[in-house]
Amino acid sequence: MGRDASMIDATPAVLGGFKVNAVAEGPFPMIAELSGAKASGLLVKGLSAQDVTRLDYYEGSFAYDLQRVTLSDGQEAEVYVPQAGRWTPDGPWSLEDWAAKSGQMSVIAAAEVMSYLGHQDRDAVAAMFPVIRARADAQVRAAHSLHSAECFHGHVEIENRTRAYSKFYAMDDLVLRHERFDGTMSESLERAVLIDADAALVMPYDPLRDRVLLVEQIRLGPIGRGDRAMWQLEPVAGRIDPGEHPEEAARREALEEAGLTLGGLEKIAEVYPSPGTSTGFYYLYLGLADLPDRSTGIGGLPEENEDIRSHLMSYDDLMARVERFDVAGAPMVMAAYYLARHRDRLRQGIA
């Protein structure tokens, strides 16, 4: 609501004939009518018209609308109820579990949602919600990154930050000042940054057959650059879903894109592919796998309009391509050189 929560008048209340469940498509709760059930919650009083407008906007992005109800003590109230058939109930809801697992991410996501009030309608925000959550989850993960412990940790002052664009990606224009190595502050700098989600990438490798599986798909970077080669060979890759560990995402993407169930995973790197321009952050793995000749095919999720072709390639062929610059994706080159260093160990079956 854009104001101090401690000033809000909220008291415990019970609503009969309703039950709160987790949502399978979550992470968030839903409330629905159920005879004989009771839902415990908070009755909020004294809201202004502006408060309700803000709540309507936020809850509306979940396809929730106000419905008049009578509480167990006879008081009249309103509650946000999901549109029929919109979400799938997924067992009892636990506020404590949600707060521990998704609370921080949800607060960050809510701030982005509310920044669109007056600029985007609630349906547009609803369509963006998966990437909004993924971007928020990346911020949570960034607080625990492993890199650059010995680098300079100077002061950065954001004088202005404006969201210039938001859909699948977001773009922010910034005016900032930063501390220099000599302790002075820089002048005001105008910059822009692409706001992206974190991604997990994995190159499947079969030590027995000494070959890898790569995927080929069309890529917007080469299209935008005007490259003659708009289809690229790459490791399996995909966005990390909110609450998902990077290794879980790597395994899920291998199954979705290439139909592979991976064995052991070896972490290759945790890296920004372009820290000067983008928040995008990659968790790159080598995945041990069984790769018989039948492993290739066309994969990807139809609902995400993915059209992905997989290729089997011998280690020697992979390294020959890398050395003649026939591969343009940085994660692929990194994975290839990691494999070159660890190949003998992996082929000997040494963990």
Query: Which of the following is catalytic: 76, 96, 187, 304?
Result: 304
Q: Is 259 helix (H, G, I), strand (E, B) or coil?
A: coil
Please say whether the beta carbons of 114 and 2 come within 8 A.
Answer: yes
Distances (CA, A) of 281 to 139, 140, 222, 272, 314: 10, 13, 19, 5, 28
d(Cα 90, Cα 285) in Å, to the nearest integer? 32
Q: Is 279 helix (H, G, I), strand (E, B) or coil?
A: coil
- Provide the 10 A C-beta neighbour count for residue 302: 7
Structure tokens at 34: 């159920």
Nearest to 263 by CA among 209, 206, 220, 307: 206
Report the DSSP pairing between strands 198-206 and 281-288.
parallel
Residues 6+ apart with CB under 8 A from 199: 237, 238, 239, 240, 249, 280, 281, 282, 283
Q: Is residue 266 annotated as part of the catalytic site, yes or no? A: no
- Provide the 10 A C-beta neighbour count for residue 339: 22
Report the DSSP pairing between strands 9-23 and 189-195.
unpaired
Rg (CA), the chain: 24
Residues carrying an active site annotation:
304
